[in-house]
Amino acid sequence: MTPGAGPLGATPGAEHSTDPYLPAHGNGGYRVLHYDLDLDYRITTNRLAGKATITARAVQSLSRFSLDLGAFRVQDVRVDGQPAKFLHRPGKLRIKPDRPIGYGATFKIEIRYAGTPVPISGRWGDIGWDELTDGALVASQPNGASSWFPCNDRPADKATFLVTLTAAAPYTVLVTGDLVSRRRRAATQTWVYERNEPTSPYLMGVQIGRYELVDLAVGGVPQRAAIPPRLRTVLGHDFGRHGDIMAALEGLFGPYPFREYVVVVADDDLDDPIEAQGMAVFGRNHLDGQRTHERLVAHELAHQWFGNSLTVADWRHIWLNEGFATYAEWLWSAVSGGPTADAHAAHWHARLAAQPATISIANPGVARMFDPIVYKRGALTLHALRTRIGDAAFFAMVRTWVAEHQHATVTTEEFRAHARRFATRPVDDLLDAWLDRPALPRLPVFGL
């Protein structure tokens, strides 16, 4: 079948462009350049109405194409200003423009839609837009972006964003990006956020609640928190070292890759914190006045480098996100006077040695991509590499890895090639053993 041929329900090029772990998500034939979202959200009824204007570039000739979109009612679709035929079933919006789009052409898609946003259900539970007791949050990793806007929902298709969201005036609206404007109209407020750095759809977040904004640190990268007012005192203790964590990670990884960092503490319990571009979301249960969860504070901040600025090309490479973020926990522990990275490595190596060795973390499989073994063994891989090549070479390698791939996508093979550049002795055997084989290697001793 030639590119662009076939029925409206077919998806051109999908076999070459979707994620091997999530083949139902993502779309072929084009790359998105920019999303312009104009949204109206009614909190009490959980109703979202939106107009999405998507600018894309064709990477093949297109007589039709598709986008990911959840269970909304699509009211109108236009391509370059002209009405287009479309077919929508929850999950996919298939579009046939009035004339074919040529290879290399830039085109604009306008979609008006409305309905009740609901999370995308799957093997990891409900992912995406979710109601809180009093507000809403978005937690889209790995495939929940289509729960609130039409998109090409795969991590490699990064784009810039402009998001305008109108909601009831008593509520604070936070969107991943820089606040451009805020205007009050009677009982509503309209918030406009701009995300100029290339961003994967799953890393776009919307957080709505009765929040108070407070500073987390003075000087350096702007660091703020949005919290229920009653939690201000406990936040001041639990996040009291946030400026120090930021400074430590910048010293280890290089400059923070975005303009600011926002922590949102939802007035609900959450199982785990949530990362977004330039943002992390914690539950109220992550504050206890004793810094019990400070390792998670370091973990989520590290994702701004590893996961958000450097984004995996597809989900097979997730250890590059979670291994680095977990290792950042160990590095912060050492900097802050806690157990050293060596101690953490020895502890987790012993823990993993007592479990069945069944995962190759370079390709763990979709069912186990969020398995704690991927996180801990990913961190152990980095510690083993650090032990093999030494601190100076290791941290030079990490900072260069970050700088050379800023706001781009990365793969395990690229990391292997990058590590070789900084090693004065072979590292392929070490990386092969730690990444490709289920059997747990011995933890190396420095200098051996």
Shared domain check, 242 and 187: no
Residues 153-173 pLDDT 10s: 999 999 999 999 999 999 999
Q: Which of 172, 197, 222 is the last residue of a domain?
A: 197
Residues 353-392 pLDDT 10s: 999 999 999 999 999 999 999 999 999 999 999 999 999 9
Residues 6+ apart with CB under 8 A from 440: 349, 352, 353, 357, 377
**pLDDT for 97:** 98
Q: Which two tokens stand for residue 434?
A: 């730690």
Shared domain check, 375 and 410: yes
Indicate yes or no: pTM above 0.75: yes
In a domain, 62, yes or no: yes
Provide the 10 A C-beta neighbour count for residue 260.
14
**pLDDT for 17:** 67
Give mean pLDDT in consecutive 10-residue pieces for the chain, a chain of 448 residues: 35 56 95 98 97 98 98 98 97 97 98 97 91 96 97 97 97 96 95 98 97 95 97 96 98 98 96 95 96 97 98 98 98 97 97 96 97 98 97 98 98 98 95 98 70
Shared domain check, 82 and 192: yes
Give the total number of structural domains in the chain: 3
**pLDDT for 439:** 97
Q: Are strands 106-115 and 47-58 parallel, antiparallel or unpaired?
A: antiparallel
In a domain, 231, yes or no: yes
Shared domain check, 112 and 66: yes
Q: What is the CATH number of the domain that holds 183?
A: 2.60.40.1730
Shared domain check, 30 and 110: yes
Q: How far is CA 323 from the centre of its chain?
A: 15
**pLDDT for 107:** 98
**pLDDT for 8:** 46
125-132 β-sheet, strand order: 120-122, 125-132, 135-139, 206-209, 172-175
Shared domain check, 420 and 365: yes
Q: Label residues 159-168 b or e (16+ Cβ within 10 Å = b).
A: bbbbbbbbbe
